């Protein structure tokens, strides 16, 4: 998977299309990412040991990695990510500009 934690992404498909956010977690086995402020769902919680009060809370759920795209802040637009070996070390690069993406 070419996306990593703390990358800025934009949602390109689904109910949250057009929203931007930072990746909070990456789930390689499920091919999903958890993006800040995206795919919010409401859950009903019963009173118990964890929370003294019950109620409805809003949480973020993982979104499929195919529905998000890396967002380049310098360029201000989405970009594809590729790999390039420079001096024996593998780097992620922006395919549109050829710039190295800092991790």
36-83: pLDDT as tens digits = 999 999 999 999 887 788 899 999 999 999 999 999 998 899 999 999
Q: What is the pLDDT of residue 64?
A: 97
The whole model's pTM is what?
0.85
Residues 6+ away with beta carbon under 8 Å from 103? 4, 92
Domain assignments of the chain as residue spans, ordered by start: 8-94
User: Residue 54: what pLDDT?
Assistant: 87
**Fold topology of 8-94:** SH3 type barrels. (2.30.30)
Question: Could you tell me which residues are beta bridge partners of residue 57?
Answer: 43
Exposure letters 72-94 (e unless 16+ CB within 10 A, then b): beeeeebbebeeeeeeeeeebbb
Give 45-63 as a DSSP string.
Answer: E-SSSS-SS-EEEEEE--E
Percentage of the residues of the chain whose pLDDT score is greater than 70: 99
How much of the chain, in percent, has pLDDT values that exceed 90? 82
């Amino acid at each position: 998977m070419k996306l990593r934690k703390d990358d800025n992404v934009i949602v390109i498909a689904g109910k949250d299309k057009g929203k931007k956010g930072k990746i909070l977690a990456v789930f390689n086995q499920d091919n999903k990412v958890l993006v800040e402020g995206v795919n919010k769902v409401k859950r009903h919680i019963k009173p118990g040991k964890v929370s003294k009060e019950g109620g409805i809370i809003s949480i973020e759920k993982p979104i499929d990695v195919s529905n998000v795209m890396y967002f380049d802040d310098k360029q201000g637009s989405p970009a594809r990510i590729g790999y390039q070996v420079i001096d024996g070390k593998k780097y992620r690069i922006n395919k549109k500009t050829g710039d190295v993406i800092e991790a």
